[in-house]
């Protein structure tokens, strides 16, 4: 087989957090995207909202790939336990309910490909590696759940599993895209960095160590992923010490994307409604991405308001 470098056009939707409407379902279904990738965090914390969004996603008439975020399938007490690093042993009963919510969510997602410690075929010449689901940084999150569903209980085991999954890929024939919920460590320690910590005074690198070490190891072995996509660290918030986070970064010839523009649906001062996503393309074998903003449900060429123009260009490209 010859390397298939056919052009690709993939839509990437960052953390949803309740911001999805029928406009999105119709737009992506009728678009000429080959597929749609989601970074998770579907709901807005209201009961049932995650499942409702999952159902909307399942109705998109394209191949779909998703990684579950720390807000998907987990309860508010569980999230609090993770944030405060309370003993996971407390959570036995909550684990039973967790598994139940997980089962229901998978059902609601219908034919969506769930990317989590697995490799998905995404058309000729492209594989998607699903990394550790439910990640929220700082530590190995939700260990009881990860142990029971995937048999993985530490950063080390997690990294080992990722290596096993890509062992048989022929990198001469296949491009590798990595999909995670939180990004890898090693990409900067400032609050505005692509996965930098924005809620502590001392800032810091908030990327995941298992994913970061995995990527650095395979780069040394000549098995470089072409694209790494993750969200979790949102582009901006009131608490943020930075106005706008870097959302696209090229380093060691790897394209890193953080499409988590939250909220992804918002209005401007004139009352226009905007919907955000990222267009990921492979043209003549070269991967690149561009932020896209639908205005009142329509995609067209128009000058963007200044704040969006600034956001769109918040990138770091070194070669
Ligand atoms: Fe998240
Ligand atoms: Fe999020």
d(CA 314, CA 220): 29
Q: 289-302 burial by CB neighbour count: b if 16+ within 10 A, else e?
A: bebebbbeeeeeee
Measured in angstroms, how far is the CA atom of residue 232 from the centroid of ligand 2? 4
Measured in angstroms, how far is the CA atom of residue 140 from the centroid of ligand 2? 17
Ligand nearest to the CA of 260: 2
Strands 118-121 and 126-130, sheet pairing: antiparallel
Query: What is the rounded (10 degree) CA torsion for 290, 295, 299, 301?
Result: -80
For residue 89, give the DSSP letter: G
Question: Tokens standing for 219?
Answer: 């780069």
Fold for 8-317, please state it. Purple Acid Phosphatase; chain A, domain 2 (3.60.21)
Measured in angstroms, how far is the CA atom of residue 136 from the centroid of ligand 2? 9
List pLDDT tens digits, range 15-70: 999 999 999 999 999 999 999 999 999 999 887 899 999 999 999 999 999 999 99
| Mean pLDDT, the chain, integer | 92
Ligand nearest to the CA of 19: 2
List pLDDT tens digits, range 199-227: 888 999 999 999 999 999 999 999 999 99
Q: What is the mean pLDDT of residues 160-165?
A: 98
Measured in angstroms, how far is the CA atom of residue 176 from the centroid of ligand 2? 24
Give the pLDDT confidence score for residue 256 in this predicted structure.
98
Measured in angstroms, how far is the CA atom of residue 232 from the centroid of ligand 1? 4
User: Mean pLDDT lowest for which of 92-96, 233-237, 265-269?
Assistant: 92-96
pLDDT tier, 241 (very low <50, low <70, confident <90, very high otherwise): low
Ligand nearest to the CA of 264: 2
């Amino acid at each position: 087989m010859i390397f298939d470098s056919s052009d690709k056009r993939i839509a990437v939707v960052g953390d949803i957090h309740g911001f999805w409407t029928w406009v999105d379902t119709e737009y992506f279904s009728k678009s000429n995207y080959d597929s749609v990738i989601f970074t998770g965090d579907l709901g807005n914390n209201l009961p049932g909202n995650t499942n409702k969004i999952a159902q909307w996603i399942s109705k998109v008439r394209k191949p779909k790939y998703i990684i579950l975020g720390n807000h998907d399938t987990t309860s508010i007490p569980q999230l609090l336990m993770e944030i405060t690093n309370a003993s996971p042993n407390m959570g036995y009963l909550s684990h039973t309910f967790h598994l139940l919510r997980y089962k229901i969510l998978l059902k609601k997602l219908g034919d969506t490909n769930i990317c989590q410690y697995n490799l998905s075929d995404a058309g000729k010449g492209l594989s998607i590696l699903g990394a550790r689901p439910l990640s929220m940084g700082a530590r190995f999150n939700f260990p009881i759940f990860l142990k029971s569903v995937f048999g993985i209980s530490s950063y080390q085991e997690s990294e080992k599993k990722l290596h096993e999954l890509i062992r048989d890929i022929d990198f001469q024939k296949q491009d590798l895209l990595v999909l995670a919920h939180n990004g890898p460590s090693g990409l900067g320690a400032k609050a505005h960095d692509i996965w930098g910590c924005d809620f502590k005074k001392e800032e810091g690198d908030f990327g995941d160590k298992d994913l970061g070490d995995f990527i650095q190891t395979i780069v040394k072995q000549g098995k470089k992923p072409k694209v790494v996509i993750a969200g979790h660290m949102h582009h901006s918030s009131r608490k943020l010490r930075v106005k706008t986070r870097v959302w696209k970064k090229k380093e060691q010839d790897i394209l890193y994307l953080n499409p988590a523009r939250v909220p992804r649906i918002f209005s401007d001062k004139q009352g226009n409604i905007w919907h955000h996503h990222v267009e990921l393309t492979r043209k003549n074998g070269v991967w690149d991405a561009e932020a896209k903003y639908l205005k009142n449900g329509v995609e067209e060429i128009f000058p963007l308001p200044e704040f969006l123009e600034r956001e769109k260009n918040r990138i770091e490209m070194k070669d």
